[in-house]
């Protein structure tokens, strides 16, 4: 590929179609906007041309690099006109230093991006618990406004002696269940039924509770039958034989 062949390189871009030399002419005459030119497409077209079985011409490659660099500069100036004006105002040595600084910054950003991509690949399957930043200053715990009078009252309450615990409930004496068992058996020997509430009326709550336990013992042994017309109604106690007769009479009727 000769130098003339580089300029005659046929391009098929979105914004231009024709030789490379004509593209440069239109750009210099400001007939085309540099931002509309796909520089990557030009480089690909040149690489396809190099892949042809011809001898590699280093002179043509050097000219292409110069031309494509100039095109990149034009595009950069069009995209960032303010920075281009600042660079034009610099001396050649200062402009070279500024360019070197920007290249170094670009290299650092590129290396940082590569490092982040590597970390993402190795640690992408890890999950981290959200929490405060490790270098964040410790939060200051501020006390709420205190009332000295309320504090003194609370301290006095802690210093006061504990009240005496009443042990009166331990002096209660529970009558034996057998006492009520014999009482109910004697009562049923004289009559066939009686009301539990009437028989325990006037007794203490403890005695009533023991009497009810005796009633349950007789029911468990099958000696008596219990009936109640409705919830919380008086409990009717009768002998088992009398309950059978009442049930048979009800079925016969």
pLDDT digits (tens, 9 = 90+) for 195-248: 998 888 888 888 888 899 998 999 898 888 888 888 888 898 888 776 555 555
Say if 187 falls within a structural domain: yes
The pair of structure tokens assigned to 48 is: 């396809």
Count up the domains in the chain and report the number: 3
Q: Using CA atoms, how far apart are residues 191 and 241, in angstroms rounded to an integer?
A: 12
Quick one: 112 and 184 in the same domain?
A: no
Domain membership of residue 83 (yes or no) is: yes
Assess contact for 73 and 24: CB atoms under 8 A: no
Picking from 78, 100, 120, the residue at the C-terminal end of a domain is 120
What pLDDT does 217 receive? 92
With helix as H, strand as E and coil as C, how does the chain read? CCHHHHHCCEEECCCCEEEHHHHHHHHHCCCCCHHHCCHHHHHHHHHHHHCCCCCCCHHHHHHHHHHHHHHHHHHHHHHCHHHHHHHHCCCHHHHHHHHHHHHHHHHHHHHHHHHHHHHHHHHCCCCCCCCCCCCCCCCCCCCCCCCHHHHHHHHHHHHCCCCCCCCHHHHCCCCCHHHHHHHHHHHHHHCCEEEHHHHCCCCCHHHHHHHHHHHHHHHHCCCEEEEECCCCCCEEEEEHHHHHHHHHHHHHC
At residue 49, the pLDDT reads 78
Do 72 and 113 lie in one domain? The reply is no
> For the domain that residue 180 is a member of, what is the CATH number?
1.10.10.580
User: Is the pTM value of this prediction over 0.85?
Assistant: no
Q: Which range, of 7-11, 85-89, 249-253, averages the lowest pLDDT?
A: 249-253
**In the prediction, which pLDDT does 175 show?**
83
Residue owning tokens 């991006």: 113
Q: How far apart are CA 109 and CA 101, in angstroms?
A: 12
Residue 12 vs residue 80, higher pLDDT: 12
Asked if 208 and 232 sit in the same domain, the reply is yes
Residue among 83, 82, 100, 102 at smallest CA distance from 92: 100
Residue 99 has pLDDT above 70, yes or no: no
The predicted model gives 104-113 an average pLDDT of 80
Q: Does residue 132 register a pLDDT over 50?
A: yes
> Is 153 in contact with 160 (CB distance < 8 Å)?
no
Q: Which of 52-66, 108-122, 212-226 has the lowest mean pLDDT?
A: 52-66
Structure tokens at 87: 């660079």
133 lies in some domain: no
Residue 20 lies in a domain: yes
Q: Give the number of other Cβ atoms within 10 Å of residue 253's Cβ.
A: 5
Is pLDDT above 80 for 82?
no
* pLDDT reading at 251 higher than 60: no
Domain containing 97 equals 91-120
Least Cα distance to 52 among 17, 1, 3 occurs for 1
Summarize pLDDT for 29-44 with one digit per residue, the tens: 777 777 777 888 888 8
Same domain, 10 and 85: yes
> Is the domain of 181 the same as that of 227?
yes
Region label for 12, one of left (φ > 0), alpha (ψ between -120 and 50) or beta (otherwise)? beta
Q: At what angle do helices 205-220 and 177-190 cross, to 10 degrees?
A: 70
User: Which tens digits make up the pLDDT trace of 149-198?
Assistant: 888 888 888 888 888 887 776 666 778 888 889 989 988 888 888 899 88
Q: In terms of pLDDT, which residue wins out, 200 or 107? A: 200
Going by pLDDT thresholds of 50, 70 and 90, the confidence category of residue 250 is: very low
Average model confidence (pLDDT) for the chain? 77
Q: What is the pLDDT of residue 253?
A: 46
Which one is predicted more confidently, 64 or 56?
64
Using the predicted structure, report yes or no on whether residue 66 has a pLDDT greater than 80. no
Cα angle 84-86-89, degrees, rounded to a multiple of 5? 110
| Number of neighbours of residue 20 by Cβ within 10 angstroms | 22
Residue showing tokens 């690909």: 44
- The average pLDDT across 68-92 equals 66
């Amino acid at each position: 590929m000769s130098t003339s062949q580089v300029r005659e390189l046929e391009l098929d871009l979105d914004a231009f179609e024709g030789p490379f030399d004509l593209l440069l002419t239109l750009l210099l005459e400001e007939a085309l906007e540099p931002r509309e030119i796909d520089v990557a497409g030009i480089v690909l077209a040149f690489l396809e041309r190099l892949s042809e079985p011809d001898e590699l011409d280093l002179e043509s490659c050097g000219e292409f690099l110069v031309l494509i660099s100039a095109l990149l500069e034009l595009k950069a100036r069009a995209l960032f006109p303010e920075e281009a004006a600042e660079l034009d105002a610099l001396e050649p040595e200062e402009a070279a230093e500024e360019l070197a600084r920007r290249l170094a910054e670009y290299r650092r950003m590129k290396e940082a991006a590569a490092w982040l991509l590597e970390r993402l690949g190795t640690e992408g399957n890890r999950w981290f618990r959200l929490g405060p930043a490790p270098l964040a200053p410790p939060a200051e715990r501020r006390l709420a406004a205190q009332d000295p009078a309320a504090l003194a009252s609370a301290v006095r309450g802690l210093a006061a002696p504990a009240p005496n615990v009443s042990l009166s409930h331990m002096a209660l004496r529970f009558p034996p269940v057998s006492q009520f068992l014999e009482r109910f058996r004697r009562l049923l020997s004289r009559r066939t039924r009686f009301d539990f509430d009437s028989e325990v009326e006037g007794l203490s709550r403890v005695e009533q509770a023991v009497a009810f336990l005796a009633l349950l013992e007789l029911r468990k042994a099958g000696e008596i039958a219990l009936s109640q017309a409705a919830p919380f109604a008086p409990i009717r106690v009768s002998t088992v034989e009398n309950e059978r007769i009442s049930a048979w009479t009800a079925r016969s009727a």
